Amino acid sequence: MGYQEIWQPYQEEVEERFPLAMGRLEQIGTEETVPQPYRAYFRQAASFLLRLAKLEQEISSGEWEKKSLGELKQENMSLYREVLPEHYGSSYASPEHAGKELGQYGKLLGMLYADIRSLIPYAFEGRVYDITIFSELLVEIYNAFEGEELPEEREIQQILYWFFHDYGEIFTEIAVRAQTDPELDFYTRIIMDSDLGDLRYLYRYGAYITDNELKTAEFLNSLPMEKIQAMADTYTEGYRIGFEVTGKDLSKKKYVDLRYPIGFERMMRAAVGNFKELGLMPVMMRSGELSFSGRGTGTGSVSSTPPNRQYEYDHKSDKAVYLDKAFVERRLEVLKTAYEARKKEAGWYAGPAVVETFGEEGFAPKANPYACQYDEKQQKLNVYYSNMATQVTNQYIKGEERSFTIIAYPIPEIGPAFEEIFAETVKVNTLDYKLYQNIQQNIIDVLDGGVSVRITGKGKNTTDLTVALYPLKDRSQETAFENCVADVNIPVGEVFTSPALKGTNGHLHVTEVYLAGLKYIDLEIDFQDGMVCSYSCKNFPEEKENKAFLKENLLKHHDTLPLGEFAIGTNTTAYRMGIDFHIQDKLPILIAEKTGPHFAVGDTCYSWAEDTPVFNPDGKEIVARDNEVSILRKEDPQKAYFNCHTDITIPYDELDRITVQGADGACVDVIRDGKFVVPGTEALNGPL
């Protein structure tokens, strides 16, 4: 079953409106009632919508299935051609081109064009209603340009505003439904019913398909079933153990939120079988392609190589066109209504099981003055919405009852050694967790004896940061650090804590790091009593641009953030993999955070579940689950949570010392000159 059931109440309406909208789009292609340069824009947008309508009909009729692999490749390239870097500059999808061609209307019409392009996967899902309403939106704006005088910019903005205000209820209902209804099985059917040996199935998603997806699928098809099953077992067992070690009852849950990269369907098919044995059915959420849901946020279930990351970056703030206080309040209202309608089903949601990939070339974004930007008021509204939406969601999908797991694998873009790196990654993902558990316990025993930890860099790294530790009342029963082995965060290899904020002071510096796919050069953050008090980087020539970049992408529009986590990564095998294959800059944060000490700005690792007791394998309770900010949840959750958590890792080769400082002034090194020196940790130095 697809999305047709959601549209059932509108079916008769759509059957009447769809052909009328298509007929009007066809007229736009021949009329000359709108002056240039706007006429060219509307013809291009109308032509694209007509193409999507035709594509949807080909798919629903079964004609699409008759196409060869070569034909599907050509069609896929044609659909995404204009946003590829070599063509982007002459596309209305480019804010700069739209701005120069369309003047004062550039941001509005460019934002609309990006939303129309976002409908490509919807054509594959049979979402005729979406194509219809966006066609009607284009026609309404086109009509405004047919008058004797050009419309006011405000008039076009208001048309867009009321469109998203009115249809936001349906977009929200779809998102909640996809999270809580396994019968919305468009993705599941691709995994379970496709002939995975016939790579035509990759194009069924409607996503951009590159050699990464094709070669990954080919490679997984070449592996014996026992290896595929072992990969799936690592993934699903980590998920199960995540519930077990936190004392959460998995038997109460029915739905697991699968998130995976296209090309991994063979592994996912085995995983679906494993989850079925655990009593879980897959649910999968459509990615957030529309401006309404946050374009380029990667919040959906299925991902592929983006055609142009600068395009995604340019359009990430398109919602600024219509974001205001009334819109936010309306969106929160419909979110609560949508969850209330599926209250029982939401309680069955167990949490995400994520497969990530790594190996893409790093991306250093370019500032674009033509792109939509949030003003200060809208930035605060985004923060407000994020906080309130999380509270609403947590009423129905309780943080203390759900869990997750994440695992990562390379993609072919990583280079000629892809298959070797893949094999090494499998090895890293399946390291002996018992060995690491014992080694890490030795480190925790030392850390628990201190009141603070000092971290210093070496060479060009100027880090000098003192982290205050959560005070323990009874070391025989309590610990401040979690002994993290391979459960929710695969691979093994870290001990982490929620630091005390008061007394956490100093300077954090990394010469180069990739966070959420964005490159940061000479990232520097200063902390005062655990809160970010200043920050800088050298991505752009102007300091103002650097500040704005960090405010948006690292601080997530907040004025400041707490240090929510301090951890020591112990997976030196993963670190060695990065060195040997020269892929340190390509390792995902999931692996990179295990290859040195890391520091997370934002919420703690226990956000929304602080009252749930958590124990290490030695039976001690991890009591450092709150800090001075998160404890404010008891008074006002808006003051306690920031809804972000960004890990920043210092690699071992930039690290001088990690020193535990005792209440009596005594100091004990955990790491000295980048090497582990705690007795019982010697095995970690082999790969170094």
61-103 residue pLDDT tens: 999 999 999 999 999 999 999 999 999 999 999 999 999 999 9
Q: Do 131 and 56 contact (CB within 8 A), yes or no?
A: yes
Confidence category of residue 288, pLDDT binned at 50, 70, 90: low
pLDDT per position as a tens digit, 214-246: 999 999 999 999 999 999 999 999 999 889 878
Please, which residues bridge with residue 122 across strands?
none
Span 104-119, mean pLDDT? 97
| DSSP letters spanning 33-77 | -S-TTHHHHHHHHHHHHHHHHHHHHHHHHT-GGG--HHHHHHHHH
Round the average pLDDT of the chain to a whole number and report it.
93
Q: Spell out the domain ranges in the chain.
A: 4-151, 186-197+210-308+335-369+399-406, 447-679
Span 502-506, mean pLDDT? 97
pLDDT per position as a tens digit, 386-426: 889 999 999 999 988 999 999 999 999 999 999 999 999 99
- Measured between alpha carbons, how far is 589 from 451 in angstroms, rounded to an integer? 28
More confident residue, 96 or 519: 96
**How high is the pLDDT of residue 5?**
59
Q: Do 292 and 315 contact (CB within 8 A), yes or no?
A: no
Q: Among 275-289, 437-451, 593-607, which is the least confidently predicted range?
A: 275-289
pLDDT per position as a tens digit, 353-396: 999 999 988 788 898 999 999 999 999 999 899 889 999 999 99
pTM: predicted TM-score of the whole model, two decimal places: 0.90
Q: Is the pLDDT of residue 559 over 50?
A: yes
Cis peptide preceding 121, ω within 30 of 0:
no
Q: Is the pLDDT of residue 478 over 90?
A: yes
DSSP 541: S
Nearest 5°: the CA angle 249, 251, 256 is 95
- Measured between alpha carbons, how far is 136 from 16 in angstroms, rounded to an integer? 13
561: exposed, middle or buried (Cβ count in 10 Å: 0-12, 13-18, 19+): buried
- Between β-strands 405-410 and 349-358, what pairing exists: parallel, antiparallel or unpaired? parallel
DSSP 665: S
Q: Is the pLDDT of residue 1 over 50?
A: no
3-class DSSP string for 433-491: HHHHHHHHHHHHHHHCCCCEEEEEECCCCCCEEEEECCCCCCCCCEECCEEECCCCECC
Q: Among 105-109, 254-258, 479-483, 612-616, which is the least confidently predicted range?
A: 612-616
Cis peptide preceding 588, ω within 30 of 0:
no
Confidence category of residue 105, pLDDT binned at 50, 70, 90: very high
Q: Which two tokens stand for residue 60?
A: 């629903």
Q: 522: phi > 0 → left, psi -120 to 50 → alpha, else beta; which?
A: left
Q: Percentage of residues in the chain with pLDDT exceeding 90?
A: 80
- Measured between alpha carbons, how far is 490 from 522 in angstroms, rounded to an integer? 28
Q: For the chain, give percent helix, strand, coil, nearest 5.
A: 50, 15, 35
